[in-house]
Chains A and B, each alone.
Chain A
Amino acid sequence: MKAELQPAATPSKRISFTASPSFVYVLVSPLFLILLAYVIYPLFETFATSVNVDGQFTWKNYARFFSLEHTANLEALWNSVYISVLSVITCGIVGVTMAFLLERYEFPGRKILSVLALVPMALPPLIGVLSFTFLYGESGIFPRLFKELFGLEQVPFSLKGIWGVVVVHTFTMYTYFFMTASAAIKGLDPSLEEAAASLGANRFTVWRRVILPMLTPAMVASSLLVFMISMASYTAPLIFGIDRTMTMQIYLSRTNGDLDMAATQSTVLSVVSIAFLLLMRWYQGVRNYQNMSKGISVHRTEVKSKAGRYVCIVLAFIGIVILMLPILVLVLISFSVDGTWTVQILPPQYTLDHYIDLFTDSKTWRPIANSLELSAIATVGIVLFGVAAAYAMVRLRFRGKTLLDVLIMLPWALPGTVVAVNLIAAFSEPTVFSFGQVLIGTFWIIPLAYFVRHLPLVFRSTSATLMQMDPSVEEAARNLGASWWYSFRRVVFPMAFGGILAGTLLAFVQCIGEFVASILIFTPRTMPLSVAIFQRMYTFEFGTACAYGVLQIVVIIIVLFISRKLAGDKAGTAV
Chain B
Amino acid sequence: MSSVTLDHVSKQFGDAKGVEDVHIHIESGEFFTFLGPSGCGKTTTLRMIAGFYYPTRGRICFGSRDVTSLPPHKRNTGMVFQNYALFPHMTVFENIAFGLKVRKIPKAEMKERVERVMKLVRLEGYGERRIDQLSGGQQQRVALARALVIEPQILLLDEPLSNLDAKLREETRYEIKRLQMELGITTIYVTHDQAEAMSMSDRVMVMQGGEVQQVGTPHEIYHRPVNRFVASFIGETNLWEGIVAGIDGNEVRVRVAPDLVLTGYAHNVSPQVRLVPGETVVLSIRPETVQESTGADGENVVSGTVVLAEFTGACVNYVTSVGPHQLRSMSISQGRPLKQRGETISLHIPKASIYFAG
Q: Identify the A interface with B (CB < 8 A).
A: 1-6, 8-10, 13-16, 18-19, 470, 472-473, 475-484, 486-487, 490-491, 494-495
Contact = CB atoms under 8 A, between A and B. Distances in A.
B100 to A, nearest CB: 9
A14 B86 CA distance: 32
Interface string B67-101: 01111111111110111011111000000001100
A470 B99 contact: no
A298 B50 CA distance: 45
Contacts of B81: 472, 475-476
Given A19-B54, A475-B81, 7 more contacts: A6-B5, A6-B63, A9-B65, A13-B66, A473-B85, A478-B71, A479-B147
B25 A3 contact: yes
A16 B69 contact: yes
B265 interface: no
Contacts of B51: 478-479
9 contacts: A5-B61, A8-B61, A14-B68, A14-B70, A19-B69, A476-B143, A477-B98, A495-B87, A495-B88
A490 B95 CA distance: 11
Nearest to B4: A3
B1 interface: no
Nearest to B156: A479
A494 B94 CA distance: 14
A483 B73 contact: yes
Contacts, number: 108
A9 B72 contact: no
A480 B5 contact: no
Return the 10 tightest CB-CB contacts between A and B, nearest first: A3-B25, A480-B99, A472-B85, A476-B85, A478-B72, A472-B81, A481-B102, A479-B79, A473-B85, A1-B215
Q: Interface majority SS on B: helix, strand, loop or mixed?
A: mixed
A2 B81 CA distance: 28
Given A3-B23, A482-B102, A13 B68 contact: yes
Contacts of B23: 2-3
A486 B216 CA distance: 41
B111 to A, nearest CB: 17
Contact of B98 (A10, A15, A470, A482): A482
A475 B85 contact: yes
A185 B283 CA distance: 56
B79 A476 contact: yes
A472 B88 contact: no
Nearest to B25: A3
Nearest to A10: B66
Nearest to A487: B73
A486 B101 CA distance: 11
A507 B65 CA distance: 50
B37 to A, nearest CB: 21
Residue of B71, B73, B74 contacting most chain A CB atoms (<10 Å):
B73
Contacts of A16: 69, 71
A47 to B, nearest CB: 36
A14 B69 contact: yes
Q: Which of A3, A4, A470, A486 has the most CB of B within 10 A?
A: A3
A16 B70 CA distance: 8
Contacts of A5: 5, 7, 25, 61
Contacts of B75: 479
Interface of B: 5, 7, 23-25, 50-52, 54, 59, 61, 63-66, 68-79, 81-83, 85-89, 98-99, 102-103, 143, 146-147, 150, 156, 215-216
Contact of A8 (B25, B59, B73): B59
Contacts of A472: 81-83, 85
Contacts of A14: 66, 68-70
Contact of B99 (A1, A4, A481): A481
A483 B221 CA distance: 40
A472 B146 CA distance: 14
Contact of A481 (B25, B103, B216): B103
Nearest to A8: B66
Contacts of A491: 87
B238 to A, nearest CB: 27
B61 A480 contact: no
Contacts of A478: 51-52, 71-73
B31 to A, nearest CB: 16
Given A473-B85, A475-B85, A13 B25 contact: no
B24 A3 contact: yes
Contacts of A9: 61, 64-66
Contacts of B65: 9
Nearest to B13: A397
A480 B86 contact: no
A3 B72 contact: no
Nearest to B54: A19
A10 B61 CA distance: 10
Contacts of B69: 13-16, 19
Given A3-B25, A6-B61, A472-B83, A480 B66 contact: no
A478 B63 CA distance: 21
Nearest to A480: B99
Nearest to B212: A1
A337 B147 CA distance: 70
B27 to A, nearest CB: 9
B141 to A, nearest CB: 15
Contact of A494 (B54, B89, B146, B150): B89
A18 B72 CA distance: 12
Contacts of B86: 473, 476
B1 to A, nearest CB: 16
A487 B102 CA distance: 9
A470 B88 CA distance: 11
Contacts of A479: 50-51, 72-73, 75, 77-79, 147, 156
A486 B102 contact: yes
A486 B104 CA distance: 12
Given A1-B216, A16-B69, A480-B99, A475 B52 contact: yes
Contacts of A13: 66, 68-69
A475 B83 contact: no
